[in-house]
């Protein structure tokens, strides 16, 4: 006997979507003596949406959880490995993205049959408004979707929040079998529309149309009924559909609701799938996450000796995983909500950015999945950089770049970072030279120094490099020659004034610790110390600003005389120039 069987006899599951059905199936398989009832508000043959997608990794977990349903699901799969992007009359394909889809209706039918086979009681067309109507139960699994009645009843305990998306979308089908996941971008007098489409069965494809709020209003779709919306989309994408009709299934324009929940269970009630979390449809993970929730819950119930421990284990396992997907989904969602900003990009650049939008897929991933696409990206990038066509091009990182009259051999920048090895008068010594030279020998196109003070009072520590004395010109000229003679790199120095972060000890003794002796007065935008223990700077006056400006001008001239190739001004890290940029550090009235 399973250890849970002693404490759990009756389980009620609200919602007969993939999450609820799969959870019931797996729990019943592990503990056949459990009395499990699944209650669904709709009829058994009613569903919304079209196809759902799964990856190879997801399928492996399904195979281990219940081989019979896995076999039936995979037998109904439509499998593809390409993504097509229709943009500016160009169609660009990237392969290697192995994805499988199944019609949502077929998936539900398979899971319903399996639930009946293992002895689960399925109740359809019964809507629950009051949990008292359920009678007694040992465990209530709420798999009743994003509008979960259970989550609303116990809102104070679950502490969820729903954030509606900024774009509008409508979930349609198409009587056309696509051979790739397809993104389509079409612009008309009303604005920009985009399509997320993929094959969902042997006869149809999912066809999601999305647009921003302004475009939706401009097109009059806010007052359009289902039939009118269907006609509008069919006309707009007629060329892409090739005469195939669009299909609707109680489809309407909505904003995608992103649901996040603080606590996933309360007493003997647990949330599952869309009842506890959602992730934007553009990363295709909703059903995957829901069914993986079911696997985790069933496993926890089988493994733990009491209900509370099982529900805690389920939440601890699934919540971090879901949060990772939600973060990627949010990035992807925001990309599509602001897609107009990228319409100036060339087709290849647009496609590459679209495929890498969420951060889950990188340049290297795309090259592994489709080397030909990777080569095409490299050639396009090389052509843009070199203004000429080429049959072979290095990866973008190794493509030369022009910065005005300066040409770098590649786009790699190497820096030794902040160094405190100089003489106390700010002169770069041989140790400093050796560290910068090593950066040049790395093959980088540009060697960037750490912060170089424009005055003695602009140093961070007494041993920071400077560019304010004629001896500094000689020292830096030696460094420049070493880089130019021994490497193909160019050299840049970062001009800086420490401001209120100056006059500190070596970082080996701790960050931003004031000097015990030999200090100097500090200046900043306002008289605010950098840390509670820092020296309080003096608010700069007009004379101070002129002196600092002249210090930067002098340092620039000296750097040029030393042969430095490029200058960078440090406007960050809380130093002097940065203190003028933030309202938290600049309290001035002028």
The predicted model gives 493-509 an average pLDDT of: 94
SS3 labels along 279-302:
CCHHHCCHHHHHHHHHHHHHHHHH
473 and 421 fall within a common domain: yes
pLDDT digits (tens, 9 = 90+) for 163-177: 999 999 999 999 999
Q: Would 132 be classed as within a structural domain?
A: yes
Catalytic residue among 154, 169, 198, 575: 575
User: What is the pLDDT, as a whole number, of residue 513?
Assistant: 95
Identify the residue whose tokens are 């798999």. 143
124 with 226, same domain? no
Q: What are phi and psi of 124, to 5 degrees?
A: -110, 165
Per-residue model confidence (pLDDT) at position 359: 85
Rounded (10°) angle between helices 307-337 and 286-303: 170
Mapping DSSP onto H, E and C, the string for 424-444 reads CCCCCCHHHHHHHHHHHHCCC
DSSP codes joined into one string, 321-380: HHHHHHHHHHHHHHHHHTGGGGTTS-HHHHHHHHHTTTSSS-HHHHHHH-HHHHHHHHHH
- pLDDT for residue 282 is more than 60: yes
pLDDT for the residue 1: 43
Are 113 and 239 found together in one domain? Answer: no
Angular region, 567: left φ>0, alpha ψ -120 to 50, beta rest: beta
Does residue 574 share a domain with residue 476?
A: yes
| pLDDT tens profile 302-350 | 999 899 999 999 999 999 999 999 999 999 999 999 999 999 999 999 9
Residue 482 lies in a domain: yes
The answer to whether position 522 is within a domain reads yes
Single out the residue in 247, 269, 301 at which a domain terminates. Answer: 247
Residue 400 included in any domain: no
Q: Are residues 420 and 540 in the same domain?
A: yes
Burial class (CB in 10 A: 0-12, 13-18, 19+), 140: buried
Is 357 contained in some domain?
Answer: no
Residue 493 β-bridge partners: 567
List the CATH number of the domain containing 209.
3.30.9.20
- Are 328 and 303 spatial neighbours (Cβ–Cβ below 8 Å)? no
Same domain, 138 and 185: no
Does residue 220 share a domain with residue 273?
Answer: no
In this structure, what CATH number is given to the domain that contains residue 573?
3.20.20.70
Residue 299 domain flag: yes
**At 464, is the pLDDT very low, low, confident or very high (cuts 50, 70, 90)?**
very high
Domain count, the chain: 3
Final residue of a domain: which of 327, 360, 376? 327
* Helices 430-441, 470-486: crossing angle, 10 deg rounding: 30
Sorted by sequence, the CB contacts under 8 Å of residue 293 that are 6+ apart come out as 19, 23, 272, 273, 276, 314, 318
Q: How many CB atoms lie within 10 A of CB 448?
A: 19
Q: Is 529 helix (H, G, I), strand (E, B) or coil?
A: coil
Of 219-223, 418-422, 490-494, least confident by mean pLDDT is 418-422
Task: Decide: helix, strand or coil at residue 86.
Answer: strand
Residue 109 region by backbone torsions, left for phi larger than 0, else alpha for psi between -120 and 50, else beta: alpha
* 137 among known catalytic residues: no
* Phi and psi at residue 123, to the nearest 5°: -120, 120
In contact, 171 and 251? CB cutoff 8 Å: yes
Q: Is the pLDDT score of 425 beyond 60?
A: yes
Whether the per-residue pLDDT at 4 is higher than 70: the answer is no
CB 199 within 8 A of CB 178: yes
Residue 549, Cα to own-chain centre: how many angstroms?
Answer: 41
Give yes or no for a contact between 410 and 372, defined as CB atoms under 8 angstroms apart: no
Higher pLDDT, 34 or 4: 34
CATH number at residue 290: 3.50.50.60
Tell me what pLDDT residue 2 has: 52
- Same domain as 152, residue 291: yes
Rounded Cα gap, residues 391 and 282, in angstroms: 34
Residues 131 and 211 in one domain: no
Mean pLDDT along residues 463-479: 96
Tens of pLDDT along 26-76? 999 999 999 999 999 999 988 877 899 987 767 889 999 999 999 999 999
Whether pLDDT at 200 is above 70: yes
pLDDT of 364-391, one tens digit each?
999 999 999 999 999 999 888 876 666 7
What pLDDT does 387 receive?
64
Are residues 72 and 59 in contact, defined by beta-carbon separation less than 8 angstroms?
no
Task: Please check whether residue 133 lies inside any domain of the structure.
Answer: yes
pLDDT higher for 50 or 190? 190
Whole-angstrom Cα distance, residue 302 to residue 291?
Answer: 17
Mean pLDDT, the chain, whole residue set: 94
Largest interatomic CA distance in the chain: 90
Rounded to an integer, the average pLDDT of 484-489 is 93
**Tokens at residue 329, please?**
């989904």
Tokens of 542: 């007009």
Angle at alpha carbon of residue 58, lines to 55 and 59, rounded to 5°: 90
Domain identity same for 275 and 177 = no
Cα separation, 130 vs 149, whole angstroms: 9
Q: Is residue 429 within a helix (H) or strand (E), and if so which, with residue range?
A: none
How many CB atoms lie under 10 A from the CB of residue 398?
A: 15
Pair (457, 489) in one structural domain: yes
C-alpha distances (whole Å) from 558 to each of 102, 384, 423, 475, 484 are: 68, 35, 18, 11, 18
Task: Check: CB of residue 200 under 8 Å from CB of residue 50.
Answer: yes
Q: Give the residue numbers spanning the domain of 234.
A: 167-247
The candidate with the shortest Cα–Cα distance to 40, out of 64, 4, 12, is 12
Please identify, among 224, 247, 270, the residue that sits at the C-terminal boundary of a domain. 247
From residue 54, give the alpha-carbon distance in Å to each of 19, 62, 333: 14, 10, 19
Specify whether 514 is located in the same domain as 548: yes
Residue with structure tokens 């309290």? Answer: 587
- What are 506-514's contacts with CB under 8 Å, separation 24+? 506/420, 506/461, 506/463, 507/418, 507/420, 507/461, 508/420
* Average pLDDT score over residue span 217-224: 98
pLDDT tens digits, residue range 512-528? 999 999 999 999 999 99
Q: In which element (H, E) is residue 470 found?
A: helix 470-486
Q: What angle do CA 301, 306, 307 make, to 5 degrees?
A: 60
Q: Which of 453, 464, 485, 467 is nearest to 416 (CA)?
A: 464
Which residues 6+ apart lie within 8 Å of 541 measured at CB? none
Residue 145, in any domain of the structure:
yes
Residue of 313, 268, 291 whose CA lies nearest to 24? 291
The CA distance from 187 to 182, in Å, is 17
Query: Under DSSP, is residue 166 helix (H, G, I), strand (E, B) or coil?
Result: coil
pLDDT band, residue 217 (cuts 50/70/90): very high
């Amino acid at each position: 006997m399973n250890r849970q069987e002693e404490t759990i006899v009756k389980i009620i599951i609200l919602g007969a979507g993939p999450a609820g059905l799969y959870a019931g199936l797996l729990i019943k398989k592990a503990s056949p003596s459990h009395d499990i009832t699944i209650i669904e508000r709709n009829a058994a043959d009613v569903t919304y949406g079209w196809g759902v997608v799964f990856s190879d990794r997801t399928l492996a977990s399904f195979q281990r959880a219940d081989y019979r349903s896995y076999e039936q699901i995979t037998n109904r799969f439509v499998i593809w490995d390409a993504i097509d992007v229709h943009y500016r009359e160009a169609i660009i394909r990237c392969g290697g993205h192995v994805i499988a889809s199944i019609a949502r209706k077929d998936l539900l039918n398979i899971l319903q049959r399996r639930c009946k086979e293992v002895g689960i009681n399925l109740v359809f067309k019964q809507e629950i408004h009051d949990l008292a109507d359920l009678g007694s139960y040992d465990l209530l699994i709420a798999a009743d979707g994003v509008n979960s009645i259970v989550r609303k009843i116990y809102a104070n305990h679950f502490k969820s929040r729903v954030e509606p998306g900024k774009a509008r979308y409508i979930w349609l089908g198409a009587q056309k079998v696509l051979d790739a996941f397809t993104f389509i971008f079409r612009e008309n007098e009303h604005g920009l529309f985009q399509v997320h489409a993929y094959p969902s069965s042997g006869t149809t494809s999912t066809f999601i149309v999305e647009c921003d709020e302004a475009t939706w209003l401009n097109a009059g779709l806010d007052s359009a009924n289902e039939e009118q919306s269907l006609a509008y989309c069919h006309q707009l994408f007629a060329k892409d559909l090739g005469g195939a009709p669009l299909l609707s299934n109680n489809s309407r324009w909505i904003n995608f609701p992103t649901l996040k929940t603080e606590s996933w269970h309360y007493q003997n009630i647990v949330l599952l799938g869309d009842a506890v979390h959602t992730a934007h449809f553009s990363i295709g993970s909703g059903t995957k996450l829901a069914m993986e929730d079911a696997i985790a819950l069933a496993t926890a119930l089988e493994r733990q000796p009491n209900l509370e421990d099982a529900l805690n284990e389920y939440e601890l396992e699934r919540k971090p995983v879901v949060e990772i997907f939600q973060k990627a989904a949010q990035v992807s969602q925001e990309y599509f909500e602001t897609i107009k900003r990228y319409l100036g990009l060339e087709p290849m650049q647009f496609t590459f950015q679209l495929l890498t939008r969420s951060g889950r897929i990188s340049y290297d991933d795309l090259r592994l999945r489709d080397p030909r696409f990777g080569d095409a990206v490299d050639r396009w990038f090389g052509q843009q950089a070199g203004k000429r066509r080429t049959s072979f091009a290095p990866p973008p990182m190794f493509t030369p770049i022009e910065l005005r009259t300066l040409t770098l051999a590649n786009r790699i920048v190497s820096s030794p970072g902040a160094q405190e090895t100089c003489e106390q008068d700010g002169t770069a010594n041989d140790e400093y030279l050796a560290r910068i030279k090593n950066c040049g020998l790395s093959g980088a196109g540009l060697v960037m120094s750490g912060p170089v003070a424009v005055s003695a009072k602009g140093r961070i520590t007494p041993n920071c490099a400077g560019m304010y004395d004629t001896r500094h010109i000689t020292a830096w000229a030696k460094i420049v020659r070493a880089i130019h003679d021994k490497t193909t790199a160019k050299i840049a120095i970062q001009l800086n004034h420490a401001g209120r972060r100056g006059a500190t000890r070596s970082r080996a003794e701790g960050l931003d610790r004031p000097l015990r002796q030999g200090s100097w007065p500090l200046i900043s935008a306002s008289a605010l110390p950098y840390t509670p223990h820092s020296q309080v700077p003096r608010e700069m006056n007009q004379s101070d600003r002129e002196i600092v400006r002249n210090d930067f001008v002098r340092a620039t001239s000296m750097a040029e005389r030393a042969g430095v190739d490029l200058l960078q001004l440090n406007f960050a890290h809380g130093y002097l120039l940065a203190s003028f940029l933030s309202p938290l550090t600049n309290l001035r009235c002028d």
